[in-house]
């Protein structure tokens, strides 16, 4: 016997709202990742990081609203929200691992730069 996934019909008048919410999830996600990444790399001042977190809040709200518009079941909505929490910490974990690997495999002695160590 085959299992059948039953999904509720989406109303045609909800298409634009669903499309806009899905687009906002992507736009706010890129904004969050860009601001956090650029501030961690030093291309923009650290004072821009709170704006990145604001984008994350807007992305989480947009994803929740999208889940409600497409009539996701409660379990799926909870899984999406857990994924959003993981997405909050993912850039920080990435940069932490980068820094730790640089410290471990490319140690810089006092007064020397990485370039002068490679030349020696």
Average pLDDT over residues 81-98: 91
Which pLDDT does position 120 carry in this prediction?
47
**Locate tokens 């806009």: which residue?**
20
pTM of the model: 0.75
Q: Tens digit of pLDDT for each residue in 59-82?
A: 999 999 999 999 888 998 999 999
CA–CA distance, 3 with 52 (Å, rounded to integer): 42
- Sign (positive or negative) of CA dihedral 51, 52, 54, 55: positive
For the chain, state the CA radius of gyration. 21
Q: Which of 96, 63, 65, 58 is nearest to 81 (CA)?
A: 63
């Amino acid at each position: 016997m085959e299992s059948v996934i039953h999904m509720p019909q989406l109303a045609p008048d909800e298409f634009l709202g669903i499309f806009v919410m899905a687009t906002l999830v992507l736009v706010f996600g890129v904004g969050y990742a860009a601001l956090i990444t650029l501030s961690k790399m030093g291309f923009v001042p650290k004072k821009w990081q709170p704006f990145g977190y604001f984008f994350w809040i807007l992305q989480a709200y947009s994803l929740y609203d999208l889940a409600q518009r497409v009539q996701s079941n409660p379990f799926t909505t909870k899984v999406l929200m857990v994924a959003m929490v993981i997405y909050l910490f993912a850039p920080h974990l990435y940069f932490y691992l980068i820094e730790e690997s640089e410290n471990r495999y490319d140690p810089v002695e006092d007064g020397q730069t990485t370039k002068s160590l490679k030349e020696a």
